[in-house]
A and B are shown apart, each in its own frame.
Chain A
Amino acid sequence: MEFAELIKTPRADNVVLHRPFHPAVEGTLCLTGHHLILSSRRQDNAEELWLLHSNIDSIEKRFVGSLGTIIIKCKDLRIIQLDIPGMEECLNIASSIEALSTLDSVTLMYPFFYRPMFEVLEDGWSSFLLEQEFELLSSVTNEWRLSCVNKEFSVCPSYPAVVIVPKCIDDEALRKVALFRHGGRFPVLSYYHKKNGMAMMRSSQPLTGTNGRRCKEDEKLINATLRSGRRGFVIDTRPLNVAQQARAKGGGFEQEVHYPQWRRIHKYIERFNILQESFIKLVEACNDQSHNMDRWLSKLEASNWLTHIKELLTAACLAAQCIDREGASVLVHGSEGTDSTLQVTSLAQIILDPRCRTIRGFQALVVREWLQAGHPFQQRCAQSAYSNSKQKWEAPVFLLFLECVWQIHRQFPCSFEFNEQFLILLFEHAYASQFGTFLGNNENERAKLKLPQKTMSLWSWVNRPEELSRFQNPLYEANSLVIWPSVAPQSLQLWEGVFLRWNRPSRFLEEAEEERINIIKYNKELQAKVNALRRQLAELETDEE
């Protein structure tokens, strides 16, 4: 097996593992093709660390005499230190880790080798098909249809094989519209608001260019979502000047003259390297052990992370407001329509649609609005906050979305069926996983890689009752209303569960969560007991009559 070549020293003894808030552990370090394993020599031989190589973001090595130290920084933001006796062993191990954590072929990744130890009750790869979604939609409206125009991924390589479009637009028109939109991403249905029949669509920018090109089919397509005499809103996730500049490169925006029924709103949502830098700065600030109170707040401020959160939430709230309060249809896009666009459409659904606040519904949302919609996970999540690679396509777009969900969750702690741990789980698996769910950049790539056949889906694992119970919010009470979060700075907080996860003592907070669960569990048990007794009594009493 080819991994063997990369592993010069598969095993080292007397290695000491240091982690914050844990006592140091001495044990044996083993390297396998996909894991770094440290097990202590204690009697119970408890496994101490089992780390996926793909979770390693960067490593540093240091030497004091013949004692080598490797500092491993992970994509889930944890930092661990391994003291390895022996210069050569240490160097070998470091270079192996480096090589194994940066494999460039997807098919060498762990999901292709992972053999599940659990029984699959439901194959996650077919749990969330767009056809099912369409069936639900058909029960409330017949204005939409399922189109297979993209079944060969030829019209739009980053779209799934099937999409939902207005019924009155035929496939021929869609092909034309695809040519008018960046990357072929023609407007498709993202969300249908049952309450008032308004729709949210998403796309990429129109290719108007400097000479104001237009496309009748495009106009017809998006107008098809309007009620007669009503207006719609185009939410462009770029500021006006950026959208204007895009025209020089062949992109552009919907001009009023050609889209008289649409009002354009420009919102500024940061992209790519700006987000990545912000992420790096924030994590740096959170890991800084030395600074005093003053510098902490300025560093938090300087990272701009919370500003991005605020901007994104504001844009999502605006989209939701247009649909629910203004009774208008909405089209959301930025440039490519694969990042900020998806952040806005998915968050708006969290606000508007109670279903998206259930575990199952949230999974469906992630599948529909991120995986199927072609968010390039593999590019965006290749590296995390510790990487030095500074590639243009790496950005914590999905993490930002998850954090916004957390912010809303914090403001409506009883309205979500899932808990914070579930969001953290998705963050982890987007960056490194034994499951194939987040591999590839779109459905096209996933099909080519035969992921559904060759790898296990995260959903197959997580939707088993024993796993699911860990991610349930004990406070959940279905709330059928639209939930409007506050976006004031006072209402937004640092997501400690992710950013301070490894450098704060968490015991007391975990105990509190346990306590919350117990209070509710006990209540439910009592309720069941009382009900059973009541039934029993009623039976006895009727017997007696």
Chain B
Amino acid sequence: MEHIRMPKVENVRLLDRLSSRRAVVGTLYLTATHVIFVENGSETRKETWVLHSQISSIEKQATTATGCPLLIRCKNFQVIQLVIPQERDCHDVYISLIRLARPVKYEELYCFSFNPKLDKEEREQGWKLVDLNEEYNRMGVPNNYWQISDVNRDYGVCDSYPTEVYVPKSATAHIIVGSSKFRSRRRFPALSYYCKGNNASICRSSQPLSGFSARCLEDEQMLQAIRKANPGSDFIYVVDTRPKLNAMANRAAGKGYENEDNYSNIKFQFIGIENIHVMRNSLQKMLEVCELKSPSMSDFLWGLENSGWLKHIKAIMDAGIFIAKAVAEEGVSVLVHCSDGWDRTAQVCSVASLLLDPYYRTMKGFMVLIEKDWISFGHKFNHRYGNLDGDPKEISPVIDQFIECVWQLMEQFPCAFEFNERFLIHIQHHIYSCQFGNFLCNSQKERRELKIKERTYSLWAHLWKNRADYLNPLYRSDHSQTQGTLHPQITPCNFLYKFWSGMYNRFEKGLHPRQSVTDYLMAVKEETQQLEEELEVLQERLANLQKSQSGDNKVKSKQQDRSKQTGLYTSNNSLANTPQEYSNDLKSFPSRSPSQGDEEDSALILTQDNLKSSDPDLSANSDQESGVEDLSCRSPSGGGCLPSEDSGKDSDEAVFLAG
């Protein structure tokens, strides 16, 4: 709290990015965890909540006659433009936020103060929801070929790896330790995914310290052991996800890539995914396009193209597709690495797993997948997503890209995923929110030291509790798309990669479809379920009635029936009234959304409820036809709504003719 110079500023204007005429006046509050803007106006008092940890940049712009503008950009792609009447107040808010958005200690993060009113047991249960031991067992290990190794039990071999890793049975501790010494940051080859059907596996590591000519017997033995763990194949693929040039440059620093001559029976392959700096810049460029005020189609497409973003997404997908194909179709094991093996490697392994195994396309399985390939294997969440103040050059949208890959797949395979787009968006949100402990720190070791599980709550439990909101209505576990490996089209497939406005223009609801097919279908399915229940009750009642009518002692059986069925009758009364409510509900669509979170959460947790409150009310918009403002401010005629009857004539003309 000592960082808050200015807890409350009145008469602040919140600008609409698309139309300066749609500003609202309200009060700005700074709390220990949030920036809150509360609109004036007695009825709605709409609130916009922004977590400090979501803030990626704050820009103080030149003071104008109306006040001092403050631009806040968020990591979840929200952009907030405030105008604060007094320059001094603005400065105080600015200085406070600069500090609040850059915490220096983990303890300052929201998850340590966030309290969803769960008792200790519920918290522990929550952390147990995703269990990697269970997951490896599900995959089919340990078995004849793979075993769990305790070589890293005190993080003695590799401090960014988990304590428990699966390695080939023939890889002795000596081989593992030897191999680890020959790999960047000692990240030795370990199992990421095992394919029960054909023994093929995906392993991951960092680059070898091969330089121009160095060799390491144990490392060669390690790769040999991986090959032997798949008796069906006489070679393994080694996939270096970097562009060849980058990998070669690394040789000068004593790092590099595997020489096919030194390893028996490997096939080496470069994939060409760019590094975190290229990706950071690419996202930056794309976001600039998203922020353009009223871009022409050319501005937008050129900008998107120049950002290179979709090209990078495709590169990651291509790598995943290559690996999934090797494992599923050729039955060949694959070792994947990049430089340190915690960014591109995580992306590629998780995309490949997702393609290979339908389990990861379920809600629970997807949580498990992130836990396995990202959290446990030491993806540096803290550095990449800037949770604590740190080196800005470490920041990069690595997991964002993975999440987008999943979305792109969902677009191509609409029935294949149990979860919907909202699920992905909320996971992305919480990777940055620091509201839950899952994504804290850079490694398992750090998280254990911080006692995350005792002091914070798990996001997975929270998402699981609200899983009804995240269901894909088109998913059926017996549908053909939910079986086996997904085969995305490879050529020509460029046009299959699309801009994800649901993510990057997430807070500009005016740009999105005004009616959600997902929400509509979920509402229908909910109603269907109620109908099924009612049908059962009615059938039973009918059977009873018919029985009682055919019976001899009518009166008696009727009484019995009544007494027996009291409970049902009461519940029936309520059900009997429902059909009209159903249809009313459906009629009131699209204001109806089945995804309202539970009440008690909404005040406390910045999940969808608060997100929703910070969104313009979408349903009201389309109902009230207020889309019209979007149109006018978006039209190339220069913006501005149509003039009212009494406004000046000349200026009106200009508005229209400018087009």
Contact = CB atoms under 8 A, between A and B. Distances in A.
Interface string A461-498: 00000000000000101000111111111111110100
A183 to B, nearest CB: 26
Contact of B480 (A509, A511, A520, A541): A511
Nearest to A20: B492
B632 interface: yes
Interface in B146-184: none
A325 interface: yes
B542 A537 contact: yes
A255 to B, nearest CB: 14
B501 A291 contact: no
B634 A526 contact: no
Contact of A489 (B296, B579, B630, B642): B296
Report, as a range, how many residues of chain B touch the other chain.
35 or more
B657 A286 contact: no
Contacts of A504: 489, 495-496
Contact of B301 (A290, A291, A297, A487): A297
A512 B549 contact: no
A258 interface: no
A322 interface: yes
Nearest to B313: A293
Given A414-B590, A503-B492, A520-B524, A486 B631 contact: yes
Interface residues of A, number: 84
A509 B628 CA distance: 32
Nearest to A532: B538
B627 A489 contact: no
B245 interface: no
Nearest to B548: A544
A511 B527 contact: no
A523 interface: yes
B326 interface: no
Interface string B279-309: 0000000000010001111111110110010
B515 A415 contact: yes
B514 A483 contact: yes
Nearest to B515: A414
Given A298-B305, A486-B511, A516-B474, A492 B635 contact: no
A415 B515 CA distance: 9
Given A477-B587, A484-B625, A490-B511, A530 B542 contact: no
Contact of B495 (A286, A488, A520, A540): A286
Contacts of A533: 535, 538-539, 542
A540 B630 CA distance: 56
Given A314-B637, A503-B492, A504-B489, A293 B652 contact: no
Contacts of B636: 310-311, 314
Interface in A281-317: 286, 288-294, 296-298, 300-301, 304, 306-307, 309-311, 314, 317
Interface stretch (A53-61, A107-115, A261-269, A366-374): A261-269
Nearest to B652: A263
Given A414-B589, A515-B474, A515-B479, A522 B528 contact: yes
B531 A527 contact: yes
Interface string B468-484: 00000110100111000
B333 interface: no
Interface in A393-422: 410-415
B589 A483 contact: no
A512 B524 CA distance: 16
Nearest to B521: A519
A526 B537 CA distance: 13
A494 B489 CA distance: 18
Given A289-B492, A293-B314, A540 B301 contact: no
Nearest to A297: B305
Contacts of A491: 501, 511-512
Interface string A306-337: 11011100100110011011100000000000
B272 to A, nearest CB: 12
Contact of A288 (B311, B492, B520): B492
Contacts of B622: 412, 481, 483
B541 A537 contact: yes
Contacts of B310: 293, 297
Contacts of B579: 527, 530-531
B623 interface: yes
Contacts of A298: 301-302, 305
B659 A310 contact: no
Interface string B492-521: 101111110100010010111111010011
A519 B472 CA distance: 12
A288 B311 CA distance: 17
A249 interface: no
A291 B494 contact: yes
A447 B631 CA distance: 41
B297 A489 contact: yes
Contacts of B558: 544
B535 A530 contact: yes
A282 B412 CA distance: 22
Contact of B474 (A512, A526, A540): A512
Contact of B525 (A267, A301, A511, A519): A519
Interface in A33-83: none
Interface in B75-121: none
A405 to B, nearest CB: 15
A482 B622 CA distance: 9
B42 interface: no
Given A301-B297, A531-B579, A533-B535, A475 B514 contact: no
A529 B492 CA distance: 48
Contacts of A411: 512-515
A481 B622 CA distance: 9
Nearest to B628: A484
B653 interface: yes
B197 to A, nearest CB: 23
Interface string A414-433: 11000000000000000000
B300 A490 contact: yes
Interface in A243-287: 263, 265-268, 286
A240 B525 CA distance: 53
Contact of A511 (B481, B491, B576): B481
A505 interface: yes
A529 B481 contact: no
A286 B493 CA distance: 10
A458 interface: no
Interface string B619-659: 00011011110111011110000100100000011001101
Given A293-B311, A294-B305, A508-B415, 15 more contacts: A297-B301, A301-B301, A325-B628, A411-B512, A411-B515, A413-B513, A483-B625, A486-B510, A486-B511, A488-B634, A504-B489, A511-B415, A511-B480, A523-B527, A530-B538
30 contacts: A240-B657, A263-B652, A266-B657, A301-B298, A307-B296, A310-B296, A310-B297, A311-B636, A314-B636, A314-B659, A477-B589, A484-B628, A486-B630, A486-B634, A488-B634, A489-B296, A489-B301, A490-B505, A504-B495, A508-B412, A511-B415, A515-B414, A523-B524, A523-B527, A523-B528, A530-B538, A533-B539, A534-B576, A537-B545, A543-B549
Interface of A: 231, 240, 263, 265-268, 286, 288-294, 296-298, 300-301, 304, 306-307, 309-311, 314, 317-318, 321-322, 324-326, 410-415, 475, 477, 481-494, 496, 500, 503-505, 508-509, 511-512, 515-516, 519-520, 522-523, 526-527, 529-531, 533-534, 536-537, 540-541, 543-544
Interface of B: 290, 294-302, 304-305, 308, 310-311, 314, 412-416, 473-474, 476, 479-481, 489, 491-492, 494-499, 501, 505, 508, 510-515, 517, 520-521, 524-525, 527-528, 531-532, 534-535, 538-539, 541-542, 545-546, 549, 558, 576, 579, 586-587, 589-590, 622-623, 625-628, 630-632, 634-637, 642, 645, 652-653, 656-657, 659
Q: Which 3 A-B pairs have the closest CB atoms?
A: A484-B627, A489-B300, A512-B414
